[in-house]
Structure 1
């Protein structure tokens, strides 16, 4: 499985099952993108400026999102970094081996000191 953050739907975790490609049985068909869901729903005055996905192994990830908080006059008010722990698991309800996401804890930091996450 390959995991990443959707460019079309910012903040949405996606997965690609590349096992058919690796075994050579894909017959030229590209793997289907499976949407795993949104990890955090920010307030309306938070503007997403960047995000990063860090693999912790075994289907567990930390998603770091960088927001600018805008006041009622559209001026910069603060910078917030939200760290969310998520786990991707196979869904028992989907016969095609669908995936679902379990959100664990989200911590938000009001800081201008964190610029990126590796």
Structure 2
């Protein structure tokens, strides 16, 4: 089975727990969807708090862009007593491919197909004093 055929049978979304990129096989309509994988593409700084639900968009050919919304409090001012709230979004490019198996490239060996996720560049976009609630 070719990669594009297999990936077209999967549904991608953000998981309910942890909001990670996840893939489910919905091809068997008479049974419960099978989770194929879940991946965390970004490890946020411990001072960042998520401020909105994450969003993602499919860019085609197994590529996605994931937007994660955060806020952070910074101490500012001359005497270090002024708190400044920063709202920002991190956009991360992700690519999903079939994992390459050195022994069996047909993926018919054990009935389990594994996916490989490559995280590409992440970009920061600050709010300049406004609140960001959507990007796509």
**Alpha-carbon distance between aligned partners in 1 of 2:31 and 2:84, rounded to the nearest angstrom:** 46
Task: Give CA deviations for 1:4-31 in whole Å, capped at 9, x if unaligned.
Answer: 0111113x1101122233xxxxxx3212
In the TM superposition, residue 33 of structure 1 has moved relative to its aligned partner by 1.3
1:46 corresponds to 2:48: yes
Aligned 8 A contact 1:82 1:107 in 2: yes
1:69 corresponds to 2:72: yes
| Alignment-derived partner of residue 24 in structure 1 | none
| Alignment-derived partner of residue 89 in structure 2 | 81
Unaligned runs of 5+ in 2: 1-9, 76-80, 102-106
TM-score normalised by structure 1 residue count: 0.81
**Alpha-carbon distance between aligned partners in 2 of 1:34 and 1:5, rounded to the nearest angstrom:** 13
| Alignment-derived partner of residue 117 in structure 1 | 135
Moved over 6 A (4+): none
Aligned 8 A contact 2:87 2:131 in 1: no
TM-score normalised by structure 2 residue count: 0.71
In the TM superposition, residue 113 of structure 1 has moved relative to its aligned partner by 5.6
Aligned 8 A contact 2:66 2:93 in 1: yes
In the TM superposition, residue 54 of structure 1 has moved relative to its aligned partner by 0.6
| Alignment-derived partner of residue 6 in structure 1 | 15
**Alpha-carbon distance between aligned partners in 2 of 1:86 and 1:71, rounded to the nearest angstrom:** 30
Aligned 8 A contact 1:84 1:103 in 2: yes
RMSD of aligned Cα (Å): 2.2
Q: Number of aligned pairs?
A: 110
1:17 corresponds to 2:25: yes
